[in-house]
Amino acid sequence: MNPNEFLKHIAYDSVVFGFSGEKLKILVMKYKNTDYYALPGGFVGLEEDLNSAVRRGLKERTGLDNIFLEQFYTFGNVDRSKPEFMRAIMEANGGINESSWMLDRFISIAYYALINYDDVELTPDAISESCDWYDLDNLPELIFDHNEILEKALATLRSNLETKLMGVNLLSTMFTMKDLQKVYEAILGEKLHRGAFQRKILGMNLLKRHEKQFSGAAHKAPFLYSFEK
């Protein structure tokens, strides 16, 4: 990494949510030759828009464009930077070169993303051993203030969930009402009443109903929906 390529003292971190059947998951990276786990993050090019930098990082790691992405908070305390950890990570990657700027203090702009679990092709970056899904209820300890960032992402997601039916971004283009309900239940962490849920969602007039499709299961087939507008 060329120290003259990026804005100093500025980083971003992203909380990337996915949904697989029943559980909410997030993307976590593991740094090479360490036991340090972290949220996917990165730096902002000298002539690059902040949002573009985040999208670039997500594209590199997931292969996806046009991700549902929202900025939710900027973490700027002095004590959030831990040069000891950063040094250890860099040494585990072949020693500290010119990039000692990475040991400086960083302000981090945090984003959350909602993506379709099945669409991603995960690629760790140069200093990471892995970039993988972890169940939200079975996460490794994260370094820096990344646990706090995750908590705030989740709180923001919960409180914004109603707006624009954003939960649909965790599903593929066609889904059943039950699929969507599972997403809501996983995010909110509670069971919802089927009838009321359906009534509320349909009342938003944001979904398009398609032909039923026989699921092969021994019961009435559900409608399929897609998100419109």
Residues near DNA (CB under 7 A) are 176-178, 193-196, 198-200, 202-203, 212, 214-223
Binding positions for a copy of itself, rule: CB under 8 A: 7-10, 44, 46-51, 71, 73-78, 105, 107, 109
- In sequence order, what are the residues at sequence separation of 6 or more whose Cβ sits closer than 8 angstroms to the Cβ of residue 204? 165
1 binds, among a copy of itself, DNA, none (CB under 5 to 8 A by kind): none
| Residue 132, both tokens | 């993988």
CA–CA distance, 125 with 127 (Å, rounded to integer): 6
Could you tell which of DNA, a copy of itself, none binds residue 95, using a CB distance below 5 to 8 A set by kind? none
208 binds, among a copy of itself, DNA, none (CB under 5 to 8 A by kind): none
Please, which residue, 51 or 176, has the CB nearer to DNA?
Answer: 176
Cβ of residue 189: shortest distance to a copy of itself, in angstroms?
20
| Residue 77 site contact among DNA, a copy of itself, none (CB < 5 to 8 Å, cut-off depends on kind) | a copy of itself
Which runs of consecutive H residues, i.e. helices, occur in the chain? 50-62, 83-91, 146-160, 177-188, 194-203
Pairing of β 107-114 and β 6-20: parallel
Integer Cα distance of 39 and 28 in angstroms:
5
Q: Indicate the residue among 93 and 176 with the shorter CB distance to DNA.
A: 176
CA-based Rg of the chain, rounded to a whole angstrom?
20
